[in-house]
Amino acid sequence: MSSFPFLTVMILVPLVGSVVTAALPAGHRLVLPKQVALGASLLTLVLGAVMASGYDRNGGFQFTEDHTWIDAFGARYALGVDGLGLLMVLLTALLVPIVIGASWHDADPGATLRLEDEATATRHTKAFFAWALALEALSIAVFAATDAFLFYVVFEATLIPAYFLVGGFGGNKRRRAAVKFLIYQLTGGLVMLAAVIGLYTVSASHGGTPSYLFSDLQGLGIPLDTQKWLFAGFFIAFAVKAPLFPVHTWLPDTTEQATTGTSVLLVCILDKIGAYGMLRFCLGLLPDASQWATPLVITLALISIIYGALVAIGQDDMLRLFGYMSVSHFGFIVLGIFVFTSQGGSGAVLYMVNHGLATAALFLVAGFLIKRRGTASIRAMGGVEKVAPVLAGLFLVFGLAALSLPGLSPFVSEIMVIMAAFQHHWWVGAIAVIAIVLTAFYILWMYQRTMTGPELLGGGEAETTDLDRREVGALAPLFLALVLFGFYPMPLLNVINPYVQDTLQHVGVTDPAPTVAAAPQGGQQ
């Protein structure tokens, strides 16, 4: 295996790119910070692709790095990726350059607010792309950290660029949404800090030598009562991050007020840390407590699935609808994790990837539409397909991906989770299936109201142009990935399955054997 520190370099490239973007001198061209940011993000993607080409899909942490960090705390700078971490790092590296390309003009003068002079406009543009790169660097660090204290530090540090992206760019109520986002996330993070400290203390009493390293913590024989308290701390933090009902209300407010590029970074990258943490900490370090909490977690997941879908039906703001849709989809991910089968676990991890691709595409194409129409109100639109057929066609494809149409990649992951849910208990699967019908209803109804009609509602034919080459280029990789992995998901599953099998073996559960009705006694076999 290569000794090249891929993960450290993948963290440093966007971090240095962020600093360079922010430090560009006044008086330069407005396009320069965009070019620097795009170049740094593309270099990170190339590094990720090269790293992935050398990954051994048989599992285990690879590309590991381990150095003393804060000796007094016992904290180490330890990085590594297994199948789960690799896919999350690659998803992050893929989405950021797409967001930068799609958001090319989002921070330009007049795009989000009126700027008094050219210098202020330049600072505004630099800030947007610098914060986006900083969020990429910290997100990669979260997915690569194999030390619990390092994980907590970068977990909390992601809030800094996220807060400024939400509060600095977007709708008129963006600052209020940013504060609400920060309060929810900080509260969850403080609860997790107590659990991290507790885990360190437990490692001293049960392992002899205190440690934050995952490799050391996994081998501890922690009593069930202690596991329950630690589980509660971690689960609350990750439920807020995911988000899961009832700590979800920050998400629709944020997606409504943030720019669509920021929403992609939050919903498709940052929120994945919640599901990632449940797998890494709850199942990986506290397996007995995870099984103990399964009935409650599955109940919350089912409520999220149905509640998110029902509330989405009543939304007029398109971006707020996508926020509630994501609450429903995250419920599916959590359900797949906690049914404790290989099919459910693999489906949940695959769902994390597919949700990132499909929801990113839907947010971005909706953002292009909203810029042209000047509103996110569904009832204020109609007839768009008459003047922008390419936009309408891609909007339909990405909407169908969100409702898990067969042939597009989310279908594979959703059907795996639903089959595992039925295997867990028939009523769990039956409730989850209801959401499929609800999702199809609100996605198709939204498309019908916005895109169809005899004429463009509200006029503005001249402003409602079709997608240009830059916009199509930003959406093309997502379109291709949705189709490719819809018909051939095995490249992803070959990486996911060994990780899931190792996790379930650590938890101590095995897949239930299929039940076959016994033949009548004395009857034909």
CB 334 within 8 A of CB 296: no
Q: How far is it, in rounded angstroms, from Cα 129 to Cα 123?
A: 10
Instruction: Give the number of C-alpha atoms closer than 13 A to the C-alpha of residue 319, restricted to the C-beta side.
Output: 27
Q: How far is it, in rounded angstroms, from Cα 500 to Cα 60?
A: 11
CA 107 to chain centre: 23
Residue 91, CA distances (Å) to 66, 124, 289 in order: 24, 27, 30
Q: Looking at residue 145, what DSSP letter applies?
A: B
What letters, b where the CB count within 10 A reaches 16 and e where it falls short, cover 441-470? ebbeebbebbbeeeebbeeeeeebebbeee
Q: Quick check: is 415 in a domain?
A: yes
Maximal CA-CA distance, the chain: 92
Specify the amino acid at residue 403. L
pLDDT of residue 504: 86
Q: Which two tokens stand for residue 85?
A: 């971490």
* 3-class DSSP assignment, residue 70: strand
Residue 122 burial (10 A CB sphere; 0-12, 13-18, 19+): buried
pLDDT of residue 220: 78
Closest to 239 (Cα-Cα) out of 247, 227, 251, 249: 247
Q: How far is it, in rounded angstroms, from Cα 239 to Cα 115?
A: 38
Q: Quick check: is 297 in a domain?
A: yes
Q: How far is it, in rounded angstroms, from Cα 213 to Cα 64?
A: 12
Q: How many residues comprise the chain?
A: 525
Helix (H) or strand (E) holding 65: strand 62-70
pLDDT of residue 212: 82
Q: 246: cis peptide before it, omega within 30°?
A: yes
Q: Which two tokens stand for residue 471?
A: 């916009």
* 3-class DSSP assignment, residue 321: helix
In the block, residue with structure tokens 């929120």: 271
Q: Quick check: is 76 in a domain?
A: no
Q: Quick check: is 288 in a domain?
A: no
Closest to 206 (Cα-Cα) out of 188, 230, 233, 177: 230
Residue 258, CA distances (Å) to 87, 165, 168, 274 in order: 26, 8, 9, 20
In the block, residue with structure tokens 């891609």: 394
User: What contacts 7, CB < 8 A, 6 or more positions away?
Assistant: 51, 63, 65, 79, 80, 81, 89, 140, 144
In the block, residue with structure tokens 């899961």: 244
Q: How far is it, in rounded angstroms, from Cα 489 to Cα 350?
A: 9
Q: Quick check: is 448 in a domain?
A: yes
Closest to 336 (Cα-Cα) out of 275, 272, 267, 417: 417
* 3-class DSSP assignment, residue 67: strand
Q: Quick check: is 362 in a domain?
A: yes
In the block, residue with structure tokens 């910070």: 33
pLDDT of residue 352: 93
Give the residue numbers spanning the domain of 498: 293-510
Q: Which two tokens stand for residue 9?
A: 């370099």
CB 456 within 8 A of CB 383: yes
User: What contacts 510, CB < 8 A, 6 or more positions away?
Assistant: 504
Number of folded domains in the chain? 1
pLDDT averages per 10-residue partition of the chain, 525 residues = 84 94 74 89 95 85 88 85 93 94 75 49 80 94 92 92 88 87 90 89 74 80 86 92 87 88 91 91 88 92 93 90 92 92 91 93 91 84 84 92 90 91 89 90 90 72 79 92 92 90 80 52 47
Q: Quick check: is 436 in a domain?
A: yes
pLDDT of residue 174: 85
Q: Quick check: is 523 in a domain?
A: no
Helix (H) or strand (E) holding 108: none
